[in-house]
Structure 1
Amino acid sequence: MRNIEIRKLKEVINLLLDHVIDSGSDSIALEEQFYWKVCDSEKYKMNNEPTELAVGDLFDDLDFVERVLHNKENVVAYTLTEVAPILAYVGEVASNRLAPQGG
């Protein structure tokens, strides 16, 4: 078992986002809306192949995440599950843009 040190994770995420911004990507167009995801009840059960996929919505995820900025009552840990697909999308798009420069 390993521990996730939240402060270190935050530092790494900030460094990575700073890198994307410093490389000229202050904004990334959200050109895809939907994505596949494994249902939460099956996600970590590696002894069984998932029986069904769910559909995530990046537009909805972004709406939920941005609500945190407008109302602090919307700050709940579960919102991190909506941040994760957005970060993955940003990483995928930014890495494609920045690949010619080494990432």
Structure 2
Amino acid sequence: MDKIKTINIVELRKITDLIYGHILDDLKIKSVEMTEDMYWSISAKDLYDIEKKPNDFGIGQLYDDLDFLRHILDDESQAVPPMILHLAPIFQYLATQVNWYETEDNATDKNRRD
């Protein structure tokens, strides 16, 4: 199998839009309650070095990440690539909290359909 060597931003944007479309349109979920805040973070120098066990752990906060990201709505000049570092933990949280096979009959309180 050939390794993928490039990330096509246009494709990634379309993929992200399709996933959001499924959550919003098909699952009818408009918001997800954040019941967790703190998470473990691995330093950039250790993240992709799979030959050794990471030893430089940090702690991140979902609430802070979301606050940083919301500043972009007020000041679009803040929409710069390093903000992806705040977006990634939010994406990971959503991936574990949105019940993609959920129907309106078995919806949980944390997945808001309002």
Query: What TM-score, normalized by structure 1, do the two folds share?
Result: 0.88
The percent identity for this pair of structures is: 25
RMSD: 1.3
Tell me by how many angstroms 1:98 deviates: 3.1
Q: Which one has the bigger helix percentage?
A: 1
Paired residue secondary structure (1:15): helix
Task: Figure out how many residues of one structure are paired with residues of the other and give that number.
Answer: 99
Tell me by how many angstroms 1:100 deviates: 4.6
Q: 1:78 aligns with which of 64, 79, 82?
A: 82
Greater radius of gyration (CA): 2
Paired residue secondary structure (2:60): strand
Match in the other structure for 2:22: 19
Q: Which runs of 4+ in 1 moved over 4 A?
A: none
Q: What is the CA deviation profile of residues 20-69 of structure 1, one whole-angstrom value per residue up to 9, with x for unaligned ones? A: 11212101111110111211121111111101321110000001111111
Match in the other structure for 1:37: 41
Gaps of 5+ in 2: 104-114
Residues 27 and 100 of structure 1, relative CA distance in 2, 3 Å threshold = closer
Higher relative contact order (CA 8 A, sep 6+): 2
Match in the other structure for 2:100: 98
Match in the other structure for 2:71: 67
Tell me by how many angstroms 1:80 deviates: 0.7
Paired residue secondary structure (2:72): helix
Gaps of 5+ in 1: none
